[in-house]
């Protein structure tokens, strides 16, 4: 979409918003759209135009006359409808997207091969969560404690006529339910707020980074959680942002400067087994792993990602996560903590990774999430499980998994050493 808009600069703000809405509708509901095409118009191949025609009728409630009027072949409008296309939209007019004959993966609009994996994790909530993953996400902001507080930030947004609600769980979060020109707002340009889903805010908070600590964000990426850690540390201590992409770390520079995060050292890694890890073994109080994953919890924001996933991706990512966990754990000092985070809803990437890691590393033990929650957040904890799973339907956040592990103060007899 970004490339299209660069080539079509004449499109105004409203046009761009409408185009984006149409594209996201197709991406969110592609399985259902293809089902209707196969059922009602088998002569029409499923592609961008035919899927959009079905989405206009069944998702956006356009009438056949609306569509025929828009597709008139004008210079800036689509070509006229073919006879088959006209018959298609006439047949489905006034219908509903979901049909009783659809299988669950078509109703839920996810790849069929992922169904058993999602069901193993979500159980009886599967249908409700699948529906929530297809709804647009709100805009969540994290207030930067280095520069503001939640009420001051909320008042600043109100002066710009933007209504922001306090998030349910994060004490630093504000939620906006409308499109806003965020990059033009004074509170954003000054570094007072950053875009960050409430679930991601909670993951950073549960790392329990404190002023004066030595902390590593092992898979820092563009630096969203790094910024949150720097604020939690009140810019006091040593915070290292690691990533295998030096370019991603470099792109975080502007965000770090705007937020006033001055304690961050950026450390590119050649891989999870980089020699830097061995040189700094047992040297950090807190290690955060925001592991690369399938991203199944982010489909509200990235609906295209679900259709690109392949079964082999899950296998490869699970192996990579295990290797990252094993390597990054070497950085945790005795008595320190390792926080493992994914934006995945799959047990293979979440609970099963933690179980395998703990079985292989007897000097680590799980810290109950409720205990950490009471220490650093307070209020009602959304789970009674040892680990935390957040979901769109249940919690109103992206899908996240968080586990906190502590390293024993004294090494156990059968604990592995920290050699690569």
The residues assigned a catalytic role are 343
Helices and strands, counts by H and E, the chain:
21, 12
The encoded tokens of residue 10 equal 């004449």
Residue appearing with tokens 């563009």: 222
Report the DSSP beta bridge partners of residue 174: 141, 166
The encoded tokens of residue 58 equal 């069944």
Measure the CA–CA gap between 350 and 290, rounded to whole angstroms: 12
Residues 176, 162: contact at Cβ < 8 Å? yes
| 268 backbone dihedrals φ, ψ, rounded to 5° | -65, 145
Q: Which residues contact 4 (CB under 8 A, 6 or more apart)?
A: 19
The encoded tokens of residue 4 equal 């299209």
Angstrom CA distances, 65 to 26, 69, 267, 292, stand at 20, 6, 58, 46
The encoded tokens of residue 65 equal 């006359």
The encoded tokens of residue 410 equal 């004294």
Angstrom CA distances, 216 to 58, 194, 234, 288, stand at 48, 20, 15, 6
Angstrom CA distances, 266 to 16, 237, 244, 249, 409, stand at 36, 14, 11, 7, 28
Residues 401, 341: contact at Cβ < 8 Å? yes
């Amino acid at each position: 979409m970004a490339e299209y808009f660069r080539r079509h600069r004449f499109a105004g703000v409203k046009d761009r918003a409408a185009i984006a809405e149409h594209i996201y509708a197709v991406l969110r509901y592609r399985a259902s759209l293809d089902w209707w095409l196969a059922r009602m118009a088998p002569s029409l191949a499923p592609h961008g135009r035919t899927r959009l025609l079905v989405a206009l009728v069944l998702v956006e409630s356009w009438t056949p006359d609306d569509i025929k009027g828009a597709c008139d072949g004008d210079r800036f409008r689509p070509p006229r409808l073919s006879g088959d296309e006209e018959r298609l939209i006439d047949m489905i007019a006034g219908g509903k997207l979901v049909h009783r004959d659809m299988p669950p993966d078509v109703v839920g609009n996810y790849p069929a091969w992922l169904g058993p994996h999602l069901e193993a994790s979500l159980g009886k909530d599967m249908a409700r969560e699948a529906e929530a993953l297809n709804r647009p996400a709100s805009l969540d902001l994290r207030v930067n404690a280095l520069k503001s507080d939640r009420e001051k930030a909320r008042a600043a947004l109100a002066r710009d006529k933007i209504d922001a609600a306090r998030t349910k769980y994060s004490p630093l979060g504000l939620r906006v339910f409308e499109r806003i020109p965020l990059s033009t707002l004074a509170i954003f340009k000054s570094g007072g707020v950053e875009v960050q889903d409430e679930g991601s805010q909670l993951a950073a908070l549960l790392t329990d980074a404190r002023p004066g600590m030595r902390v590593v964000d092992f898979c820092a990426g563009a630096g969203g959680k790094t910024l949150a850690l720097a604020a939690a540390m009140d810019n006091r201590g040593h915070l290292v942002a690691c990533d295998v992409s030096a370019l991603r770390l470099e792109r975080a520079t502007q965000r770090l400067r705007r937020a006033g995060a001055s304690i961050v050292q950026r450390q590119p890694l050649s891989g999870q087994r980089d020699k830097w890890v061995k040189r700094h073994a047992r040297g950090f109080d807190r290690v955060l792993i925001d592991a690369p994953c399938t991203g199944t919890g982010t489909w509200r924001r990235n609906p295209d990602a679900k259709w690109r996933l392949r079964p082999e991706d899950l296998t490869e990512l699970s192996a990579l996560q295990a290797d990252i966990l094993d390597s990054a754990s070497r950085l945790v000092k005795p008595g320190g903590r390792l926080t493992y985070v994914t934006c995945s809803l799959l047990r293979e990437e979440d609970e099963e990774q933690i179980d395998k890691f703990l079985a292989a590393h007897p000097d680590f033990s799980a810290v109950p999430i409720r205990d950490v929650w009471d220490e650093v957040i307070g209020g009602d904890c959304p789970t009674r499980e040892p680990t935390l799973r957040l979901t769109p339907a249940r919690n109103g956040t992206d899908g996240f998994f968080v586990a906190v592990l502590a390293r024993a103060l004294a090494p156990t007899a059968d604990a592995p050493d920290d050699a690569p």
